Amino acid sequence: MTELTQTAQHGLSAHSHGAGVPLQIRNARVRSSKSSDFEAISQREEQWRYLPGDRISDFLVDAFDEFAGDLALKAPDDVKTAWIGPDHDLFGKAGLPEDKISAVAWESAQAAYLINIPSDSKPDCQVQLSLVSEDRSASALHLVINAEHHSTGVVVIDHRGDAQLAENVEILVGDEAQLTVITIQDWTENSVHLSSHFAKLGRNSKLKHIVVSLGGKTVRLTPSVEFTQPGGDVELLGMYFADAGQHLEHRPFVDHAVANCKSRVTYKGALQGEKAHTIWVGDVLIRKAAEGTDTYELNRNLLLTDGARADSVPNLEIETGQIAGAGHASASGRFDDEQLFYLQARGISESQARRLVVFGFLNEIVQQISVPEIEARLTESIEAELARSVD
């Protein structure tokens, strides 16, 4: 990739840049399940600044319908599911809304769909939740994924169809558990999807969280991760492909609240067409107690045509000097002509060479999933998306 913007790398010094919004504001942000605790949505607020109000006008109300689409589950027998109410122990345990729409959704969904992965799960435990909607009124859905201590599992949430969905996904990773969560946004072109993920990690646990955003007019996804015990390890991966008119926004946040945890954030996106807009705001907060933290975040964007715009804002806030490492990098660029030449010199047509280069750029994320069936599936989705749109 030809680099257009500078790559920034940082050592130990406290630092924040880009939007010029200090992270302390984030730290002091309201967290509540009550929508009335939040100010009205406005682009003057940092968290909404990139999202024009007319894209989410159906969500500027006091209550949403409950999600009425299909939820189809494929899972091994030992994985239990249930609808749980707010009085349940696991409801609201992973986190609380940090924005108004998330809070309205929290209030609107009377029950949450719980997926429980037991301690003695098989190593190849795979759960597939397909969410298909045809409903175009603003609706709310609440999911809770609970990976019990010492469990191992993969949960794929597949979003398809036509929707205006506000979603809260709670992710609990117990002590010593290893969980992979993959969320795929493959909506039709009119859909709006606003999704907040809250993950809480126990001692020596590992979470691999993967976001794949391909379809949807407006997708905004905010995965927040909090470490509660030392030894936690999180990998936040994401890839997105934005066509003309699409708005894809991702705001990963890692809260290093305790010592000796590790985080890696890697998001890659490709954009093409008029008013294709992607936003990546990566926040990492290393609190005073979080000695021995090791973190790195990276966002790379490939701009395939003029008229597309990628905003990329890494924020790293460090409150202790005793860390193992902290850095971030952000870069946007265009096609590397030498890559195209190499492929064309092997007989591959120019348009196919472009598709292959974009495919490879995004596929680097897929290659980190290390669950072969899921890799194959995602590879197919990306190829289909590129076949439709890149020429």
Partner 1 sequence: MSILQIKNLHVSVETEQGAKEILRGVDLTIRNGETHAIMGPNGSGKSTLAYSIAGHPKYEVTDGEILLDGENVLEMSVDERARAGLFLAMQYPVEIPGVSVSNFLRTAKTAIDGEAPALRPWIKEVREAMEGLRMDSAFTERNVNEGFSGGEKKRHEILQLELLKPKFAVLDETDSGLDVDALKVVSEGVNRAKAANDLGVLLITHYTRILKYIQPDFVHVFVAGQVAEEGGPELAERLEAEGYDRYVRA
Given 350, 373, 380, 391, the residue binding partner 1 (CB under 8 A): 350
Q: Does 67 bind partner 1 (CB under 8 A)?
A: no
Phi, psi for 62 (deg, rounded to 5): -90, -15
Q: Does 339 bind partner 1 (CB under 8 A)?
A: yes
Least spacing, CB of residue 56 vs partner 1, in Å: 33
Least spacing, CB of residue 364 vs partner 1, in Å: 4
Rounded-to-integer distance, Cα 251 and Cα 140, Å? 20
Nearer to partner 1, 32 or 339 (CB): 339
Rounded-to-integer distance, Cα 200 and Cα 128, Å? 21
Given 285, 353, 374, 390, the residue binding partner 1 (CB under 8 A): 353
Q: Does 344 bind partner 1 (CB under 8 A)?
A: yes
Where do the DSSP E strands lie in 202-251? 206-215, 218-227, 233-242, 247-250
Q: Does 91 bind partner 1 (CB under 8 A)?
A: no
Burial of 362 (0-12, 13-18, 19+ CB in 10 A): buried
Rounded-to-integer distance, Cα 290 and Cα 317, Å? 12
Region of 103-111, 139-147, 208-216, 364-372 interacting with partner 1 (CB under 8 A): 364-372
Q: Does 343 bind partner 1 (CB under 8 A)?
A: yes
Rounded-to-integer distance, Cα 328 and Cα 19, Å? 15
User: Binding mask 197-226 vs partner 1 (x if CB under 8 A, - otherwise)?
Assistant: ------------------------------
Least spacing, CB of residue 136 vs partner 1, in Å: 35
Residue that is written with structure tokens 């990276």 in the block: 298
Contacts of 366 (CB under 8 A, 6+ apart): 239, 375, 378, 379, 382
Nearer to partner 1, 119 or 352 (CB): 352
Region of 49-57, 120-128, 274-282, 362-370 interacting with partner 1 (CB under 8 A): 362-370
Given 173, 363, 369, 374, the residue binding partner 1 (CB under 8 A): 363
Least spacing, CB of residue 39 vs partner 1, in Å: 42
Given 166, 290, 313, 356, the residue binding partner 1 (CB under 8 A): 356
Residue that is written with structure tokens 């599911």 in the block: 81
- By DSSP bridging, strand 80-84 and strand 152-161 are unpaired
Report how many residues bind partner 1 under the rule CB under 8 A.
26
Least spacing, CB of residue 354 vs partner 1, in Å: 12
Confirm if 281 and 251 have CB atoms less than 8 A apart.
yes
Least spacing, CB of residue 309 vs partner 1, in Å: 23
Rounded-to-integer distance, Cα 190 and Cα 236, Å? 27
Q: Does 187 bind partner 1 (CB under 8 A)?
A: no
Given 16, 81, 352, 381, the residue binding partner 1 (CB under 8 A): 352
List the one residue out of 128, 131, 171 whose CA is nearest residue 151: 171
User: Binding mask 297-336 vs partner 1 (x if CB under 8 A, - otherwise)?
Assistant: ---------------------------------------x
Residue that is written with structure tokens 């345990």 in the block: 93
Concatenated DSSP letters of 65-96 = EEP-SEEEEE--TT-EEEEE-TTSTTTT-S--
Which two three-digit tokens encode residue 96? 């609380």
Nearer to partner 1, 111 or 348 (CB): 348
Least spacing, CB of residue 359 vs partner 1, in Å: 7
Least spacing, CB of residue 92 vs partner 1, in Å: 39
Contacts of 70 (CB under 8 A, 6+ apart): 130, 131, 132, 133
Residues that bind partner 1 (CB under 8 A): 336-339, 341-350, 352-353, 356-357, 359-364, 366-367
